[in-house]
Structure 1
Amino acid sequence: MERRQLEYFVAIVEHGGFTHAARALRVAQPSLSRAIGKLEHELGVALFHRVGRNAVLSNAGELVVDRARLVLRDLEALRASARSVETGAVGRVDVAATSSSALEPVISIVAELRERHPGVLVSTSSALSATEVVAMVLQGRCEVGVCGHGERPAGPGLVAHHLRDEEFLLVAPPGTHLGEDGAVTHDDLRGLRFVVTKRATAARALFDRISETVGGLTVAAEVGDRSVVLPMVLRGIGSSVVPDGWHDLAVRAGAAVHHFSPRERLPQWLVHRSGPITPATQAFLDTTLTRGVREPGITSEP
């Protein structure tokens, strides 16, 4: 079995077929097909069902694809470690993050990483929830994940570091006056209109919990793209519950920003696999953890 065969296999899955994969890899499609045929022969199973011009993953292919991604990640870690002896930390680290975590602390980490290790490129992938972040790391789609979750994220061989407790805030249209001394209780929200995100996000879960407890909260808009939440608030469409990473931007834009009383917080985590990692990934981890070292832990599930 060759590395090239695994790269071709993963490319076909991620690009949605042989034709698109061949174009992305810049190889002739017959060469791609022969490599996959050889891989299937060596494994003794069909990885794809050929349906006309389409290729659909077989049951065996579904089981193999995540393992193939992890093998490729480990091989890249081995090769990058050898190169780093002479060049230092260089290369790319793929980071999965929920939108709030991508804003803070990921932006701050990238800024600091550029100072310490200018040869490291950070590529971020957006995830809707902490569950999705963990899955992307365990499947080998990303080396590192940053997310908010009520409990320590768990998975086979997953390493989880507690970074901080993220705080949720209320942002309201400019000129809105609520509560006292910049703090609002849940009862202060009764009668307000809200811009909310789709379900599965931590901010939406908090809004739903408050709404069930207090009542009288109206959803004025539900959005899939969380980047439009603040512009909608500024236009007076409604208030919103946002993570503290939005604080400075919201204040500069002129929104009214309030803390909750009592404060609403959610633990934020850095996760990665316990296997081999590239020097670029190690640089990202070291930069993140030296900003506020927390106790690491390895959790596993049967």
Structure 2
Amino acid sequence: MQAPGMDIRSAQYLVAVVDHGSVTAAAVALHISQPSLSQAIRNLERTLGSALFDRTARGLIPTAAGAAVADAARKLLTDVAKAETAVAAVIALQSGELAIAVQSDLAVDAVADMAGQLHRTAPGIVFSTTAASSAREVRALVRSGRCELGFLERDLADGTSDNLREIETRAQETVLSIPPALAVGLPDPLPRASISALPMIVDAPSNRRSYPLGAEWELVDIVVEVPDRLAVREMVGHGGGAALLPRSIAEQDAPGTSIRSLHPPIIRRTSIVFRDGPLSPAAAALVSNLRTAHSPSTNSLPNGDNLSGSNSIP
């Protein structure tokens, strides 16, 4: 509790005298004159109606009352510092930019969710995203400083050898999105090998003609290649063929399409990465939300494959 009649300056003066043991040393530390500090301490004693120090040959020794008031003064100064920090954080979030590199073949639900939460508390922040064709490109954009954060597929074999910090976000399940006419008779879950007999639609950033999905099978009946994910969804919705998509995206197309889980499942684990060191207020707030909402876990999705790099599925 704040002592009656004690303001922030009086609290600073009192704590300095207690810590340094003399008015002279405290005045030097506070960059004020010794007579001014002495007068301030006398005024505080007069206001409180009690002596705060015993004047001895060894210097100033706090009385019982002085020690109690000094404790209250420290609490006051701590509370003021916390308030100033909170205000500075609010002011810092009122403007600014946050650039995020996003692996383009992932569903961006985790990023969109965290960005939405941050935008509700900091509407002045301008978000920009840069599409990257691979996790490696995302990491390069973050390392170079072009983007402060990166959202990518987590490669368990890579670790963090590139000195980027990493927070795991929601895992993504890949499913088969298929026109109802082609889905007739297909079980759910669908064995992976069955996909080989289906006409497939893919997005083709690298114009690949073969899409490996594991050691024993691959997509070979590719009937349409399109430039982006939106075009894939449209093609499936109009009956052009089937596609492998993140579940959250495939479910947006229902009821115009059917969904089949895969057996064994394909699970893509995702992360937010950023450079070591201080983050901007906006990035720090988003990362803090991620730590709260998506605490790292292991084996949360058993029996699934984590496909990375060239084996990733859009």
TM bracket (short chain): 0.5 to 0.7
Question: Secondary structure of 1:237's match?
Answer: coil
Change (3 A) 1:147 1:117: same
CA contact (8 A) 2:251 2:259 kept: no
Q: 90, 93, 102: which is aligned to 1:97?
A: 102
> Greater relative contact order: 1 or 2 (C-alpha under 8 angstroms, separation 6 or more)?
1
Please name the residue that 1:237 is paired with: 240
Which sections of structure 2, spanning at least 5 residues, go unmatched? 1-84, 298-314
CA distance in 2, matches of 1:291, 1:245: 18
Question: Secondary structure of 1:229's match?
Answer: helix
Change (3 A) 1:205 1:122: farther
Please name the residue that 1:136 is paired with: 141
Report the AA paired with residue 162 of structure 1: E
Please name the residue that 2:33 is paired with: none
Please name the residue that 1:267 is paired with: 269
TM-score normalised per structure 2: 0.59
Structure 1 runs of 4+ with >3 Å offset: 81-86, 152-156, 204-207, 214-217
CA contact (8 A) 2:202 2:222 kept: yes
How is 1:204-215 mapped onto 2 (pairs within 5 angstroms)? 207-209=211-213, 213-214=216-217
How is 1:1-302 mapped onto 2 (pairs within 5 angstroms)? 84-85=88-89, 87-90=91-94, 91-101=96-106, 103-151=108-156, 152=158, 154-175=160-181, 176-180=183-187, 182-198=188-204, 207-209=211-213, 213-214=216-217, 217-252=220-255, 254-294=256-296
Which sections of structure 1, spanning at least 5 residues, go unmatched? 1-80, 296-302
CA contact (8 A) 2:89 2:281 kept: no
CA distance in 1, matches of 2:88, 2:133: 34
Deviations 1:63-86 (A, max 9, x none): xxxxxxxxxxxxxxxxxx999446
Q: Decide which structure has greater strand share.
A: 1
Deviation at 1:96, TM superposition (A): 0.6
Q: Which has the larger radius of gyration?
A: 2
TM-score normalised per structure 1: 0.62
Question: Secondary structure of 2:273's match?
Answer: strand
Report the AA paired with residue 290 of structure 1: T
Q: How many residues align?
A: 210
Report the AA paired with residue 93 of structure 2: A
CA distance in 1, matches of 2:261, 2:86: 49
Question: Secondary structure of 1:164's match?
Answer: coil
Report the AA paired with residue 97 of structure 1: V
Give the share of equivalent positions with the same residue, in percent.
Answer: 25
RMSD: 2.9
Deviations 1:164-211 (A, max 9, x none): 32111111113322532x31111322321111122679xx8994225x
CA contact (8 A) 2:135 2:152 kept: yes
Report the AA paired with residue 288 of structure 1: L
